[in-house]
């Protein structure tokens, strides 16, 4: 089987995911592709549609990862921006986000990721969640592998630093009870490669 393809418009996400695969002696290829997103606040549906769209172009097994960011007490819009994190501009304009949230004391928020793998016949989805709080100012330095500017203001549960303030080792080993869509998929994918029954109905064979 050819290398698995990760389709994303965010190179930082690719670098982060690639490292996880390399630790398991698996390689992935990268295709930069800015996919259209359905105008719905549902990362599971969005991820599935984007995987299908990418497969129709590339015609090979691939996966996409979509992330939502949920701020529980965002003024007038609980759990905003959710799946609209990119389209809302929240992650691009951190200063405006902090200004909007300056009078909010309960700053609980979380990332929710959905990874969708499509092999040309079946969709498989995996979920990851990371809880934390929104800081009151930007903290940390630019990191090439950062998935979002929100790393400057997201402090994971049980941690004193934002994601941008942490070293690679600190981010990897933090004790915040997070789950990882990528790691769950990677464990499943290794079994998928060993199991002909899972692959026998693939359209591209």
91-137, pLDDT tens digit by residue? 899 999 999 999 999 999 999 999 999 999 999 999 999 999 999 99
Q: In this predicted structure, what is the pLDDT of residue 197?
A: 67
Average pLDDT value for residue range 25-35: 86
Check if the beta carbon of residue 67 is closer than 8 Å to that of residue 147. Answer: yes
Alpha carbons 161 and 154: distance in angstroms, whole number: 8
Average pLDDT value for residue range 152-170: 96
Q: In this predicted structure, what is the pLDDT of residue 136?
A: 97
* Confidence category of residue 198, pLDDT binned at 50, 70, 90: low
Q: Which residues contact 21 (CB under 8 A, 6 or more apart)?
A: 4, 27, 28, 186
Helical axes 181-194 vs 11-23, angle rounded to 10°: 50
Average pLDDT value for residue range 138-164: 91
* Confidence category of residue 86, pLDDT binned at 50, 70, 90: confident
Token code pair at residue 113: 């990721």
Check if the beta carbon of residue 178 is closer than 8 Å to that of residue 169. Answer: no
Give yes or no for residue 3 having a pLDDT over 90.
Answer: no
Other beta carbons less than 10 A from residue 55's beta carbon: 21
Task: For residue 113, list its beta bridge partners.
Answer: 67, 128
Give yes or no for residue 204 having a pLDDT over 60.
Answer: no
Alpha carbons 3 and 27: distance in angstroms, whole number: 6
The position carrying tokens 């040309």 is 120
Average pLDDT value for residue range 23-36: 86
Give yes or no for residue 148 having a pLDDT over 90.
Answer: no
Domain boundaries in the chain? 4-199
Q: What is the pLDDT of residues 62-71, one digit of tens each?
A: 999 999 999 9
* Confidence category of residue 196, pLDDT binned at 50, 70, 90: low
* Confidence category of residue 205, pLDDT binned at 50, 70, 90: very low
Token code pair at residue 27: 């390689």
Kindly report whether the peptide bond that precedes residue 81 is cis, defined as omega within 30 degrees of 0: yes
| The CATH fold of domain 4-199 | Maf protein (3.90.950)
Average pLDDT value for residue range 144-149: 80
């Amino acid at each position: 089987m050819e290398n698995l393809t990760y389709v994303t418009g965010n190179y930082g996400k690719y670098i982060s995911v690639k490292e996880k695969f390399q630790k398991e002696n698996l390689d992935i290829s990268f295709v930069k592709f800015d996919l259209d997103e359905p105008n719905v606040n549902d990362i599971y549906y969005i991820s599935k549609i984007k995987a299908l769209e990418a497969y129709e172009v590339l015609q090979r097994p691939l996966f996409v990862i979509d992330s939502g960011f949920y701020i529980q007490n965002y003024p007038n819009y609980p759990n905003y921006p959710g799946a609209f994190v990119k389209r809302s501009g929240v992650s691009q304009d951190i200063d405006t986000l902090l200004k909007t949230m300056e009078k909010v004391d309960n700053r609980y928020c979380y990332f929710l990721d959905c990874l969708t793998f499509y092999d040309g016949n079946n969709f498989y989805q995996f979920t990851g969640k990371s809880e934390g709080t929104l800081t009151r100012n930007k903290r940390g330095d630019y990191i090439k592998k950062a998935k979002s500017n929100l790393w400057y203001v997201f402090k994971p549960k049980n941690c004193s630093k934002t994601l941008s303030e942490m070293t690679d080792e600190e981010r990897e080993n933090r004790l915040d009870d997070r789950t990882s869509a990528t790691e769950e998929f990677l464990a499943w994918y290794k079994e998928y490669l060993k199991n002909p029954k899972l692959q026998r109905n693939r359209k591209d064979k």
